[in-house]
Amino acid sequence: MNRTMQAAVEYTERFNWSVVPLAPRSKFPPKGFKVLPYRERIAKREEIESWWRSNADYNIGLVTGRISGILGIDHDKYNPGYSEAEALRFIPDDVFTPTSMTPRGGQHQFFAYPDEKISIGAGLIPGLDYRGEGGLLVMPPSMGENGKPYKWLIEPAETEPAILPSELKRALINNNIIKNNILNNRDDDNYDDTAKKFFTEGRRNEDIFTTTLALVKQNLPKKLIRQAIETIANNCRPPLPKDEVESVLNSAFERGNRAERNLAADVRAWVLSTNGNFTSTDVARCQQVSTRGDLQNLSMILKRLVDEGVIERYGNKNGCFRRVETELEPLDWKNANTTPLPLKWPFGIENLVNLFPGNIAVIAGAPNAGKTAFILNFIRWNMHTHPIHLFSSEGGPEELRMRLSKFDLPIDEWKFNAWDRSGNFADVIRPDAVNIVDYLELHDDFFKVGGMLKAISDKLRSGSCLIALQKNKGRDEGLGGVRGLEKPRLYLSMDAGVLKIVKGKSWAERENNPNGQSVRFKLVDGCKFLIQSRWERRNENEV
């Protein structure tokens, strides 16, 4: 059983998800394959195995919607209009739900399908699409067109699909996409069959109202809107009476007029929910402002917000702004927990330096000095008392297993989570666990290391993170230099046979300053440290 077939079987038998084959390196079913039956029932194991026996290179497609209990959110982060800040309006960054990375650097998030019926659509914001009834999502370990695989960032075995955030759910219910084939009653299996039910008895008024409102928001002439809606009404099954069409049109036009009057309130709300810099074009796109009059109105609204001190102009270009962040997070120092994290470190570092919840530590090591051995010993001594997540860019699963096999501990007794990751570590940090990054790769723009460490630190709550950096032999600091020293509360420097505490912010003993102290060691079999000296402060030239 190949890896892809095995994953398809597991999705079905372990999570009760409906899967179908997709053509190799494709998002679409193989020619002639009928998806429709698997929107009603889940394939049996024998069917799945027969599909992949016929073509071992098939991709896996998840049938979204009620059959699998999944609503998928597709983040096309490579879309030029995609904005992380805008996406956070719908999905807070602390949402923990199964998430995969696409071959082009986007993400699929898997949420529990709601009670309300939601089909498929695009454009909550540019690059943010959704897949409900009638949808398909490509699943790991399928291959993309570029030959790169889909990978899990948060596996479904790690957490159940989260409930839709309220703002996202509201947007999905209210988001109305006018499909080209909405009145086309064709029998194509790959066509979204929910469209066949639009504008039928029992939902004609609702569909015509939402369609009218969508056209109003595009600032189309009312005569054109009226003609289009009357055409749709006449093609409903059965046709909608003229008096009801008129009532729906009037209600939608009134709603649209109110929306115009509320533009100032909507812009203010959008600005207050935004992080970082933005442009007037960003605001116009998100608020669907396109007419000359509305654009002039938007310009005045932004000017008033500048005058009020809500935003300020940014940079040298016209139309660039940033929100003035006046909110302050109080420090409840009276009730602060001063108990250090109960972590055990190689070389007894816990007897010299304390780490607290939310702290990060760095070990900067020269090539082959023993960074990974240090990390694996740290895992061994803490894996039974803390949940541990290792994000590794050092080799693959084979190399990790070989390193672990050198310890005097059976492979089955190692208890930690290992993930293949080489960048954007802040996106996957577990806020309340022990996180380890081996290692933070820097190839250019070394000055960015400080920002990378801060981004990781900002994601932590009660957890911590140990981060490995490469360094040049003989230097204390890793790549990025002193810019990497600001955020860590513990900074270690490792050369062959010597480990030094460059920075220990919280001393474990009041009279014993750990900063500048070092210890000598020998590394045996790439895993065992033999301590050759005590911790002490040495002359820089001492060998």
Q: Tell me the per-residue pLDDT of 159-185, one tens digit each, with 9 for 90 and over.
A: 899 999 988 888 887 764 433 334 343
**pLDDT, averaged across the chain:** 86
For residues 414 and 380, what is the distance between their CA atoms, to the nearest angstrom? 7
Query: Which single residue is written with the structure tokens 């075995």?
Result: 157
Summarize pLDDT for 336-375 with one digit per residue, the tens: 888 999 999 999 999 999 999 999 999 999 988 999 999 9
Task: Return the pLDDT at 186.
Answer: 37
**% pLDDT > 90, the chain:** 51
Residues with Cβ within 8 Å of residue 390, at least 6 apart in sequence: 375, 379, 416, 417, 418, 419, 436, 438
Lowest-confidence range among 45-54, 97-106, 236-245, 259-268?
A: 259-268
Q: List the one residue out of 129, 146, 28 whose CA is nearest residue 76.
A: 129
Distance of CA 414 to the CA centre of its chain: 28
Q: Looking at the predicted structure, is the pLDDT value of residue 244 above 50?
A: yes
Count of beta carbons in the 10 Å neighbourhood of residue 470: 17
Q: List the one residue out of 46, 38, 64, 63 whose CA is nearest residue 5.
A: 46
Q: Looking at the predicted structure, is the pLDDT value of residue 536 above 90?
A: yes
Task: Return the pLDDT at 178.
Answer: 38
Q: List the one residue out of 41, 39, 40, 52 whose CA is nearest residue 8.
A: 52
For residues 260 and 327, what is the distance between their CA atoms, to the nearest angstrom? 30
Encoded tokens for 20: 């179908």
Task: Return the pLDDT at 175.
Answer: 60
Summarize pLDDT for 521-534 with one digit per residue, the tens: 999 999 999 999 99
Task: Return the pLDDT at 89.
Answer: 82
For residues 407 and 399, what is the distance between their CA atoms, to the nearest angstrom? 14
Is the C-alpha dihedral spanning 392, 395, 398, 400 positive or negative?
Answer: negative
Summarize pLDDT for 412-432 with one digit per residue, the tens: 999 999 999 888 899 999 999
Q: Looking at the predicted structure, is the pLDDT value of residue 125 above 90?
A: no
Is the C-alpha dihedral spanning 160, 77, 448, 442 positive or negative?
Answer: positive
Mean pLDDT of 279-306: 79
Q: Looking at the predicted structure, is the pLDDT value of residue 106 above 80?
A: yes
**CA distances in angstroms from 377 to 78, 189, 241, 406, 499, listed in the order given:** 39, 55, 76, 12, 15
The alpha carbons of the chain give a radius of gyration, in whole angstroms, of 28
Instruction: Sketch the domain layout of the chain as residue ranges.
Output: 3-169, 199-261, 263-323, 341-537
Q: What are phi and psi of 250, to 5 degrees?
A: -60, -40
- Residue bearing the bigger pLDDT, 504 or 208: 504
DSSP annotation of 425 reads: G
Which pLDDT band holds residue 292 (cuts at 50, 70, 90)? low
Task: Return the pLDDT at 243.
Answer: 83
Distance of CA 511 to the CA centre of its chain: 44
Summarize pLDDT for 47-96 with one digit per residue, the tens: 999 999 999 999 999 999 999 999 999 998 877 778 887 888 888 877 88
Q: Which fold has domain 341-537?
A: Rossmann fold (3.40.50)
Task: Return the pLDDT at 418.
Answer: 95
Lowest-confidence range among 77-81, 261-265, 380-384, 495-499?
A: 261-265
Query: Which single residue is written with the structure tokens 């003035």?
Result: 324
Q: Three-state SS for 128?
A: strand
First and final CA of the chain: distance in angstroms? Answer: 56
Q: List the one residue out of 324, 280, 318 whose CA is nearest residue 299.
A: 280
Q: Three-state SS for 292?
A: helix
Task: Return the pLDDT at 329.
Answer: 76
Task: Return the pLDDT at 474.
Answer: 83
Q: Looking at the predicted structure, is the pLDDT value of residue 217 above 60?
A: yes
For residues 497 and 543, what is the distance between their CA atoms, to the nearest angstrom? 10
Whether the domain at 263-323 and the domain at 341-537 fall into the same CATH topology: no
Amino acid at 165: P
For residues 478 and 405, what is the distance between their CA atoms, to the nearest angstrom? 29
Summarize pLDDT for 497-507 with one digit per residue, the tens: 999 999 999 99
Peptide bond into 82 cis (omega under 30): no
DSSP string, 351-381: GTB---TT-EEEEEE-TTSSHHHHHHHHHHH
Summarize pLDDT for 477-492 with one digit per residue, the tens: 988 888 889 999 999 9
Q: Looking at the predicted structure, is the pLDDT value of residue 494 above 90?
A: yes
Task: Return the pLDDT at 258.
Answer: 58
For residues 409 and 526, what is the distance between their CA atoms, to the nearest angstrom? 14
For residues 335 and 469, what is the distance between their CA atoms, to the nearest angstrom? 35
For residues 99 and 526, what is the distance between their CA atoms, to the nearest angstrom? 34
The CATH label, of 1.10.10.10, 3.40.640.10, 3.40.190.170, 1.10.357.10, for the domain at 263-323 is: 1.10.10.10
